[in-house]
Chain A
Amino acid sequence: EAEVAQSPRYKITEKSQAVAFWCDPISGHATLYWYRQILGQGPELLVQFQDESVVDDSQLPKDRFSAERLKGVDSTLKIQPAELGDSAMYLCASSTRLAGGLVNTGELFFGEGSRLTVL
């Protein structure tokens, strides 16, 4: 069964260090999302890609966060420098478009997530 792959599953780092998360979406899925989920809350969108282009990064703290999807397939989310408040689950998700259309199918599939702890 097709899956969204993420790594690492767990990351512990000290504040001011750099961290990076990787995501490989389901094959053929043009839209890729990075979400942040704080314990006890629903996922919140950080950045959305359509192929290799960013279509929404309005909630991404750009002073320390960056994301790229250079070839329109896998993606990397980086935090530098990490702060205590960045401790959270970072979730990658992907979706695909209706054939020939501009609209997502409405199904969003998540990876297992990367749990970040900043000390």
Chain B
Amino acid sequence: GQQLNQSPQSMFIQEGEDVSMNCTSSSIFNTWLWYKQDPGEGPVLLIALYKAGELTSNGRLTAQFGITRKDSFLNISASIPSDVGIYFCAGQPLYNFNKFYFGSGTKLNVKP
């Protein structure tokens, strides 16, 4: 099946630092989604992207739909301790609008 490569696998940062993570696919995607998952909880949708080049913000979070339509990026500015969690990318491939594929997650640790 479709593979999404998400990196980095984990990050250890200081409170106040900015964070970047990305996700790449082998095929063109129609939609990119970014989720945050806290331990023992379900993933919560943060940002949805629908057009190549689209840049969307949600508070301190900004995500971009890559121009090639094969990648997406998530940035978190001025990180705080509650940003700790696992961030997943997900997307719908162009060849199958009704399927969602997930990356393996980026585990974010923020040191106060």
Which residues on A are within 8 Å of B, measured CB to CB? 4, 6, 31, 33, 40-45, 48, 50, 55-56, 89, 91, 93, 95, 102-104, 106-113, 115
Contact = CB atoms under 8 A, between A and B. Distances in A.
Interface string B98-111: 11101111000000
A95 B35 CA distance: 15
A110 B48 contact: no
Given A42-B88, A42-B105, A48-B98, A106 B31 contact: yes
A54 B79 CA distance: 42
Given A31-B98, A107-B33, A108-B90, A115 B105 contact: no
A106 B48 contact: yes
Interface in B40-68: 40-45, 48, 50
23 contacts: A33-B100, A40-B105, A41-B104, A42-B6, A42-B88, A42-B103, A43-B88, A44-B102, A45-B99, A48-B99, A91-B43, A93-B100, A103-B97, A104-B97, A106-B33, A106-B92, A107-B33, A107-B48, A108-B90, A110-B42, A110-B43, A110-B45, A115-B40
Contacts of A112: 41-42
Nearest to A104: B98
A112 B33 CA distance: 18
A115 B41 CA distance: 9
Contacts of B100: 33, 45, 93, 95, 108
